[in-house]
A and B are shown apart, each in its own frame.
Chain A
Amino acid sequence: MSELENKTEHGSVDGATEGAAEDPKNDTGLGLGVIFFIVAFLICFLSGWLLFPKLLYSKHEQPFNFDHALHVQETGDCESCHFLRDDGTFSGIPKMASCLDCHTDEPMGETRDEAIFASEYVAKEREVPWYVYAKQPDCVFFSHAAHIEAAGMDCVTCHGHIGESTTSRPYEENRLTGYSRDIWGKNIWGIKKNSWDRMKMDDCAVCHKEETGHQGYCFQCHK
């Protein structure tokens, strides 16, 4: 046997004395350490998973509830209120003038929300200060005409089935950036199941690359 093999077999002299100093079966220190690690991990994990999104986003209720499903049923389609103007720009959230095509300051239905609309906004000739879920940051230029007219896309691809909703969910604003939560998406991990779950720059770029073969130059979407 070589000197080296001798050493490995019997362990080093130092190691032997160390092992003898403590009872090898007494591992409560290790157990407590593991428990502490698991508990701390769970606290951090859960606070990150559950608490952080609540801290990050502030919630705003819409001025009053808007029933998309009812309006689609009455008017027929999205374009009745959300339309392209003659100069190619998109009307986005309709102004009061569009609402007044049908509404007056007398409510047509019996909901409390319409009563608020009629008394607070129509009667006082004020625009409704809606929060816009799909609002992109200020530096973004988005052309609805390019996507609807040139690419022939439908509303659902980016906006989801909002036309079937009967209630307005609270608007969530990122406290740090001021952006709508819909940009990052509801899922805090950024996991995307539907094409409308998230609308970050990467999501635009992925689709552009697939459809046009190029993700585009900066100024295609920035201003």
Chain B
Amino acid sequence: MIQDKKAHKYGMVIDLDKCTGCGSCTVSCMSENNIPFKEDESDKKDSITWMRVYKLTNGKSFPDTQITYLPRPCQHCGGKGDHGHSPCVSVCPATATDYGYDTGIVSQIYTRCFGCRYCMVSCPYHARYFNWWDPIWPEGMEKYLSPNVSPRMRGVVEKCSFCYHRYQLAREKAYYDGTHEIAEDAYQTACTTACPAGAIIFGDLNNPSHKVHQIVKPDPHPDPLNRDVVGKSRNPKVFRLLERLGTNPKVYYMSEREWVRKLGDNYLDGEWEKVKNHYGAASHE
């Protein structure tokens, strides 16, 4: 483990009240990361979408029906207790995916992966995708591929990397400038910059000057209700997906609407009422 006092913890907040479901994040992600597509994309079962937009509804009939859209990148789980024991990392038999303790980003190394798909099974968020075919680009389109992202081959798993190549380039620039510091705007993911509604906010959760930190206000202490959960938001509007599993995702969601927040996890009857006003250790003080 690299003992770096200034370790980053890159994360994201997605404001579901701003998201219009336009799909710009998905499109920008696909073009930024050389994501392959099939000739016939109507069969969504084996489509590859690092950033996928889900449609949620409150289940009520007109005129009370409400809809919201939920973009879902890789959640970059910190695992139980946020020690880097992510579900996918802990099961990979090839060490093709690891947890970067310096950035908090979960990697995926395509040349090391042999395609057993154990990680896809372990991922509670369906964020991982398998390449059933070698990518085929329409003639001439291969010239538009990003040279900073390695295209994948048949038989390997891929997923969102928080546009890690942008971090690499930002760090390179920082070395050149001699600052060794990466400014908030120097490293932003493609989906963040593409979102026309400004619903996606990206930055370092460990850095109090970054906007994500200010919105999320992550609780550094373990949750008193569940010691595996660390970094629970102290903002009552902010939640994470399946938070009680203790996977500790670094992607947070934000909504004013209670029914949206409730859809972040599967609650039994009466459970939601107990936890809905619980914002981590802070609410116990």
Binding site for B on A (CB under 8 A): 84, 86-89, 137-139, 141, 143, 145-146, 149-150, 212-214, 216-220, 222-223
Assuming the contacts A139-B150, A223-B150, asked whether A217 and B98 have C-beta atoms less than 8 A apart, the reply is yes
Assuming the contacts A223-B165, A223-B168, asked whether A88 and B177 have C-beta atoms less than 8 A apart, the reply is yes
Q: Which 3 A-B pairs have the closest CB atoms?
A: A88-B176, A88-B173, A88-B172
Asked whether B174 is an interface residue with its Cβ less than 8 Å from the other chain, the reply is yes
Residue of B nearest to A218 (CB): B107
The answer to whether B111 touches A150 (Cβ under 8 A) is no
Complex A-B: 11 CB contacts under 8 Å: A87-B169, A88-B169, A138-B151, A149-B175, A218-B97, A218-B98, A218-B109, A219-B100, A219-B107, A220-B100, A222-B150
Which residues of B in the span 158-176 have a Cβ within 8 Å of any Cβ on A?
Answer: 161, 164-165, 168-169, 171-176
Bound-complex Cα distance A84 to B175 (A): 11
Which of A86, A89, A138, A222 touches B169 (beta carbons < 8 Å)?
A: A89
- Residues on A with beta carbons closer than 8 Å to the beta carbon of B107: 217-219, 222
The answer to whether A143 touches B171 (Cβ under 8 A) is yes
Residue of B nearest to A219 (CB): B107
Assuming the contacts A141-B165, A141-B168, A214-B2, asked whether A219 and B176 have C-beta atoms less than 8 A apart, the reply is no
Assuming the contacts A137-B111, A143-B168, asked whether A223 and B178 have C-beta atoms less than 8 A apart, the reply is no
Bound-complex Cα distance A144 to B121 (A): 38
- Residues on B with beta carbons closer than 8 Å to the beta carbon of A137: 111
The answer to whether B175 touches A145 (Cβ under 8 A) is yes
Q: Which of B111, B175, B178 has the most CB of A within 10 A?
A: B175
Bound-complex Cα distance A208 to B151 (A): 26
Q: How far is the CB of B188 from chain A (nearest CB, A)?
A: 16
The answer to whether A143 touches B102 (Cβ under 8 A) is no
- Residues on A with beta carbons closer than 8 Å to the beta carbon of B172: 87-89, 143, 145-146
Bound-complex Cα distance A212 to B3 (A): 10
Which of A86, A88, A145, A223 touches B149 (beta carbons < 8 Å)?
A: A223
Residue of A nearest to B112 (CB): A218
Bound-complex Cα distance A146 to B175 (A): 6
Asked whether B48 is an interface residue with its Cβ less than 8 Å from the other chain, the reply is no
Bound-complex Cα distance A84 to B178 (A): 13
Bound-complex Cα distance A138 to B142 (A): 14
Bound-complex Cα distance A154 to B164 (A): 27
Bound-complex Cα distance A146 to B112 (A): 24
Q: How far is the CB of A113 from chain B (nearest CB, A)?
A: 30
The answer to whether A150 touches B109 (Cβ under 8 A) is no
The answer to whether B178 touches A219 (Cβ under 8 A) is no
- Residues on A with beta carbons closer than 8 Å to the beta carbon of B148: 141, 223
Asked whether B129 is an interface residue with its Cβ less than 8 Å from the other chain, the reply is no
Q: Which of B95, B105, B164, B180 has the most CB of A within 10 A?
A: B164
- Residues on B with beta carbons closer than 8 Å to the beta carbon of A217: 2, 98-102, 107
Residue of A nearest to B102 (CB): A217
Which residues of B in the span 105-119 have a Cβ within 8 Å of any Cβ on A?
Answer: 105, 107, 109-112
Q: How far is the CB of A200 from chain B (nearest CB, A)?
A: 13
- Residues on A with beta carbons closer than 8 Å to the beta carbon of B171: 143, 146
* Apart from A88-B175, A138-B150, A219-B168: 16 A-B pairs, beta carbons within 8 A: A84-B176, A87-B172, A89-B169, A141-B168, A143-B172, A145-B172, A146-B171, A146-B175, A150-B180, A216-B2, A218-B109, A222-B150, A223-B149, A223-B150, A223-B164, A223-B168
- Residues on A with beta carbons closer than 8 Å to the beta carbon of B149: 223
Asked whether B268 is an interface residue with its Cβ less than 8 Å from the other chain, the reply is no
Which of B105, B169, B175, B180 touches A219 (beta carbons < 8 Å)?
A: B105
Asked whether B1 is an interface residue with its Cβ less than 8 Å from the other chain, the reply is yes
The answer to whether B101 touches A150 (Cβ under 8 A) is no
- Residues on B with beta carbons closer than 8 Å to the beta carbon of A86: 176
- Residues on B with beta carbons closer than 8 Å to the beta carbon of A212: 2
Bound-complex Cα distance A141 to B161 (A): 14
- Residues on A with beta carbons closer than 8 Å to the beta carbon of B193: none
Which residues of B in the span 129-165 have a Cβ within 8 Å of any Cβ on A?
Answer: 148-151, 161, 164-165
The answer to whether B161 touches A87 (Cβ under 8 A) is no
Asked whether B103 is an interface residue with its Cβ less than 8 Å from the other chain, the reply is yes
Residue of A nearest to B151 (CB): A138
Bound-complex Cα distance A219 to B168 (A): 9
Bound-complex Cα distance A193 to B78 (A): 42
- Residues on A with beta carbons closer than 8 Å to the beta carbon of B150: 138-139, 222-223
